[in-house]
Amino acid sequence: MKIVSALFFSVLLHFSTVAAASELKVIKNQFRASFEQVTLPPNESMGLLGINYLLKPTNYFYYGLGIYGAVTGDRGGFFTGGLEVGLQYKLAQSVVIDLGGFAGGGGGGAAPQGGGAMLRPHIDIYYEKNRYRMGLSYNRVSFPNGDIESDQFGLVMETAFDTFLLPGHLVKNTNANDAGFLELKRANTAYRLFTPQLTYYHPRGSRAGRGDVIHEESIKVLGIRWRQHVGSVFWNEFETGGSWGGGTDGFAQVLFGKGARFPLVARTYFVTGAMLGAAGGGNVDTGGGVIARAYAGIHYFVSKHWMLGLESGWTQAIDGEFAALTSVINMGYQYQILFPSPAVEGQYKVNNWAKYRIRAGVQRYSHYQGNGRKDDSLPGLAIDQTALKIDYYLSHNLFVSGQALAAYRGDVGGYAVGLVGAGIEQALVKNNALNIGLELLVGAAGGGGVSVGEGSIVQPMLNFNARIKNDYYIGVGLGYIYAPSGDFSALVSDINVEYRFSVPHS
């Protein structure tokens, strides 16, 4: 499953320059979108859309996540994810030059990506006005262990915004008056809703598949959805997911959209919206990769924070044959965040702190139980992947986790994984300098000729981590992956750089 976001690396250590322990800081963020036409051999054109979420700890240096997906041509389902890092410098009052690069993994759409490792160095020049930038990019897209190498010009745009961040995890609540949290005198609030979900596509028979493939079953997609409100009615949203059944191993999607909710009766809302994004793989005919969805449904809040939802709509490939009635079942957690806002003045008391952990590194499959490959000529060949793991702590020890991985070596270019689950962590020494943890993860995987059957996987893990500096840790893990409906099972080992931080809630 090619899921959004596939890594950070040890560049996360630069975050230590952002803030000292127990000091709330305003962090600069950037959202970037890009588009270019990449040439595949022998002379095929593929439109590549890039989406980046970047952190800027200094006036010049930035780093963050990059996701690239096919949106034109005939390679729907091609996705890569990885690390973006670079430098920006103002040449004049409104002119900015950007020198940076991307490194990650992925593939799909039957493209000649080889093992899946992707590099994308670039030089961009922007015109800047207020917090918005538009510009021209010159970049090279290459797959060192594949057959893709293409130089081209493209378009790029950025927008900037700020967030609060406190390094580390606070054991107890605190007030805005403690530790000099004066920034909270100029802040605003917004609701966020995080939603794991199961999507059912009911395709119109032969109109869904590539070539002679007919999808007679409903396509099941396991994924996550994130919404942030803009005011009391409207929201912006992001969704990603991968095949969990229906004979479409390798199908994945990444969508962005806008929606709204309107109160009906107590705790019940009517919701509606529209989304646009990239999707494909698993012999689903999305053409160049762009799909659109319109939906409506009901959200019921069981409590102040927890929501149950049902949605129905229609999803259509813009230039492919895929068209399907769409049903969504989701369960979400809603909370209210504080963010910097110079235009709003007031005194906010911090009643709660949301505690997070980011783990980024590499993961390996080895010591298979059987071959686990659709190609019998590759028995026992290890699979190496980039990995990004984001954890939210429900208590001091208990957390929920969302994880995304994409292959970069092992002759499985295009193989990717999305996992969700829960874990528990226990300190082995004082001050949490050394910890042991257990995780149980389930999710979707596919692509690259790995025999995962319908795409569902189970992965338990045993983890150890040790503090290396302030709120940074080095972690190692050992576990086992199993595909219930396929032949794939193997030992799992990984190594991660970890960073812990807190975000204030009102």
Looking at residue 21, what DSSP letter applies? T
CA gap 155, 127 in Å, rounded: 12
Task: Report phi then psi at 432, rounded to 5.
Answer: 55, 30
Interval 61-98: pLDDT, tens? 999 999 999 999 999 999 998 889 999 999 998 999 99
Evaluate whether 190 touches 228 at the Cβ level (below 8 Å).
yes
Point out the residues of the chain with pLDDT beneath 70. 1-22, 171-186, 205-207, 342-351, 377, 379, 506
Contact of 231 with 264, CB cutoff 8 Å? no
Q: SS3 string of 97-157? A: EEEEEEEEEEECCCCCCCCCEEEEEEEEEEEEECCEEEEEEEEEEECCCCCCEEEEEEEEE
- 234-245/25-40 β-pairing: unpaired
Rg (CA), the chain: 22
Contact 420, 404 (CB under 8 A): no
Among 194, 228, 254, CA closest to 66 = 254
Tell me what pLDDT residue 347 has.
Answer: 61
Neighbours of 250 (CB within 10 A): 28
Give the pairing of strands 149-167 and 489-505: antiparallel
What the chain holds in terms of domains, given with CATH numbers, is 10-164 (2.40.160.20), 188-339 (2.40.160.20), 353-505 (2.40.160.20)
Q: Which amino acid is at 389?
A: K
- pLDDT for the residue numbered 205: 66
DSSP-assigned beta bridge partners for residue 86: 62, 100
Give residue 301's pLDDT: 96
Residue pair 477/462 in contact by the 8 Å Cβ criterion: yes
Q: Which of 386, 393, 395, 335 is nearest to 362 (CA)?
A: 386
Output the six-digit token pair for 94. 């409104």
> What is residue 414's predicted lDDT score, i.e. its pLDDT?
87
